[in-house]
Structure 1
Amino acid sequence: MATTGDPQALGQLLRSRRERLRPGDVGLPAGIRRRTAGLRREEVALLANVSTTYYTFMEQGRPVQPSDQVLDALADALRMSAAERLYLRMLARGGEDAPSVVAVPAPDERIDPEVVALVQRLEPFPTLVKGRSWDVLASNRAARELFDDWDALPAGERNLVRWMFTAPRAREVYLEWEPEARAMLGRFRLAAARHPDDPAFEALVGELKQDSREVRQWWPRHDVTAVASGSKKLRHPTLGPLRYSHVVLHLADNSDQTMVTYSAADAGN
C-alpha cells in the first residue's frame, strides 16, 4: 500500500503549533477574551490565505493533500522553524518528501568495515556511528568509556534513544539530561518521519512510550529538532564534568548512518 503522508499526525502538528501562538506573535490584535489557547483556526487560515474550511479539514486529519504553496504558507503563518518545516512536509508527503513509499520492512542494517576502522582510528576522541533507527553500529573505546559499553549490551538494547530514556547511566552522563533528552527525541522524530512505513520505528516508539514517562508526555507534542554539531556537558567516569564539542557527519554511502565524534573543550560545570 502506498504512503501519501500521515494526515492525522499532520493535523496534530498544525493544532499544536496554532495553540502555542498568541495573536501578538503574528501581528493580530488580541480582541475579545478567548475561550481556547492560541490562535483561532480562522486566523491561521487568514494568515495562510486558505479557506477556514480547508484548514479545518487539515487539522481534523482529512486527506486533503495540500500543495507545496499551501504548506509553505502554513509554515510561515505558524512561525515554524526549519526543522518543523521539514517535518511538516514529511507528514504531508510521506518520507523524504516522496509522493509514494512502498510499505516494506527495511533490510538488515550493515556498516562498512572501513567506517568501523575509521572510528577506531579516531581514538582517543569518543566516536560512534548510529544507524537508521539510532542503533549504535560502531564505537571506539573512548566512546564506550564515556557513555556505555555498547558491545557488552544485548543486540536489541544497543539503541541510543532507548539508552537515553531507560538507562540510569544516561542521567549520570548527561549533566543537562532533560533538555538533551528532549532534543534527542526531536531529532529521532525527524528520522522516524523519513521512514513512515518502517515497522522498526513504530515498534521502538511503542517500547519507549511503555518504558519512559517522559516519552509518553513529550511524543504527542510533535517537537522536532534539526541534527547539528554543538556542545554538551557530560560527566566522564574518571575525569568528571567536562564540556564536549561534537561534530556530526552523515556517511556519503548511507545517509541514514551518522558519525558523531566528541572532544573535551573545558573542565567547567
Structure 2
Amino acid sequence: MDDKQRRRELGDFLKTRRARLSPNNVGLPEGTRRRTPGLRREELAGLANVGLTWYTWLEQGRDIQVSAQVIESIARALQLSPDERTHLFALARCEIPAAPYLLEETVSPALQDILDSLGTSPALIRGRRLDVLAWNQAACAVFLDYASMPPDERNSLWIMFTNPAIRQMLGDWEGHAQRLLAKFRAMCDRYAGDYRFTQLVEKLHAVSPEFCQWWQKHDVQGRSAGCKEYEHPAVGQLLLNHTTLQVSHNPELEVVVYTPLPDSDTLRKLQQLRDLHRLEKFLLKS
C-alpha cells in the first residue's frame, strides 16, 4: 500500500480498537450518554498520555512523525493483544521493541510432533535466551543428550562455550561461537533488564576466557543460515545446512533444523547415528 493508504489504515485500526473499549474496561466513569460506542478520543489520549490534537491527527491519517514510545503508550491504553500490537507498529512504520508482556516459552505438542517428524535431521526449539526448550532424537544422536542435562545448562550459548565435546566436533568453532554470541548480544540488548540474561552473562564470564574477550566487542547479528562442519567421533565428517525458522504464534521461539548437505555422505552417517542412539537406549533399558 502507498503511504496515504497506510496512514488511513492506521487511523481506522485505532478507531476500531478504541470503539471496543468501554469506560468500565479502563476504570473510567460512564458519564453522560454516548453517541458512539467505546471511549472518546480525549479519554484515550489521556490514558496514553499523549496530546488530544496529536492523537486526533493520527486517527485522521495526517502525515505526522510517530515515535515508538508513543505507539507503545497507545498500544497499552488500547489493551492490544501481542498480534494487534505488532500490527500497530507495522502500520506506524516503527521498529517494534520487546514486548512488555513476554509470552510464555512453552512448546506445544504440535511443535514437538514437527520435530519428531524430521527423521534423521536434528532439530531444536530455542527461546529468547537461546535456551533449548525442545529437541528430537536425531539432535540427541548427533549432538548431546539434552534430556540428561540440568535445565539451567540446557542453553545453546552455555553449551557452545563450556562443552568440550561440541568444541572438538565443530569446525571453525571460534567463528560459530562468535556469531552465536553476536546473536545473543542482540537479544540481550533487546531484553535489557531481564535478570535471566544477566545471570547467564555472569556465569559465562566466570568460566570462559573467550566469552570475556568477545563480549567486549559488542558485535550483534540476527538469525542466520548456512553450513556447519562437524567431526563426529563415531562417524567422522558431517556437513549440515542449518536453517532457523520463527514460530508465527510465538515469534520469540525459533526452530533450528539441520539437514544433510546434498552430494555428501552425511545422510548415511545420520542414519548410522540414529541406529547407534536407538541401540544405546535399548541397552540402557535392558
The aligned amino acid for 2:105 is: E
Contact preservation (8 Å) 1:231, 1:246: yes
What is the identity percentage for the equivalent residue pairs of Structure 1 and Structure 2? 33
The aligned counterpart of 1:132 is: 128
The aligned counterpart of 2:223 is: 227
Contact preservation (8 Å) 2:157, 2:180: yes
Task: Give secondary structure in 2 for the equivalent of 1:193.
Answer: helix
Deviations 1:86-142 (A, max 9, x none): xxxxxxxxxx654x975x8x5752111211111111121111111111111111111
Contact preservation (8 Å) 1:101, 1:197: no
| Alpha-carbon spacing, 1:237–1:120, altered in 2? closer, same or farther (3 Å) | farther
Listed as ranges, the gaps of 5+ residues in structure 2 are 1-65, 68-94, 267-286
Match of 1:214 among 210, 213, 216: 210
The aligned amino acid for 1:171 is: R
Alpha-carbon distance between aligned partners in 2 of 1:252 and 1:200, rounded to the nearest angstrom: 24
The aligned counterpart of 1:256 is: 252
Does 2:148 match 1:174? Answer: no
Contact preservation (8 Å) 1:247, 1:262: yes
The aligned counterpart of 2:155 is: 159
The aligned amino acid for 1:251 is: V
Task: Give secondary structure in 1 for the equivalent of 2:139.
Answer: helix
Does 2:109 match 1:113? Answer: yes
Kindly state the Cα deviation for residue 152 of structure 1 after the two structures are TM-superposed. Answer: 0.6
Task: Give secondary structure in 2 for the equivalent of 1:227.
Answer: coil
Provide the aligned length of Structure 1 versus Structure 2.
Answer: 172
Does 2:149 match 1:143? Answer: no
Task: Give secondary structure in 2 for the equivalent of 1:223.
Answer: coil
Kindly state the Cα deviation for residue 144 of structure 1 after the two structures are TM-superposed. Answer: 1.1
Match of 1:202 among 189, 198, 203: 198
Alpha-carbon distance between aligned partners in 1 of 2:113 and 2:161, rounded to the nearest angstrom: 29
The aligned counterpart of 1:73 is: none
Kindly state the Cα deviation for residue 197 of structure 1 after the two structures are TM-superposed. Answer: 2.1
Contact preservation (8 Å) 2:103, 2:250: no
Question: Structure 1-normalised TM-score?
Answer: 0.59
The aligned counterpart of 2:242 is: 246
The aligned counterpart of 1:236 is: 232
Contact preservation (8 Å) 1:171, 1:177: yes
Kindly state the Cα deviation for residue 218 of structure 1 after the two structures are TM-superposed. Answer: 0.6
Deviations 1:36-55 (A, max 9, x none): xxxxxxxxxxxxxxxxxxxx
Task: Give secondary structure in 1 for the equivalent of 2:120.
Answer: coil
Alpha-carbon distance between aligned partners in 1 of 2:235 and 2:260, rounded to the nearest angstrom: 10
Question: Structure 2-normalised TM-score?
Answer: 0.56
Contact preservation (8 Å) 2:126, 2:254: yes
Alpha-carbon distance between aligned partners in 2 of 1:225 and 1:107, rounded to the nearest angstrom: 22
Contact preservation (8 Å) 2:122, 2:138: yes
How large is the Cα RMSD of the aligned pairs?
A: 2.3
| Alpha-carbon spacing, 1:114–1:183, altered in 2? closer, same or farther (3 Å) | same
Find runs of 4+ consecutive structure 1 residues off by over 4 angstroms. Answer: none
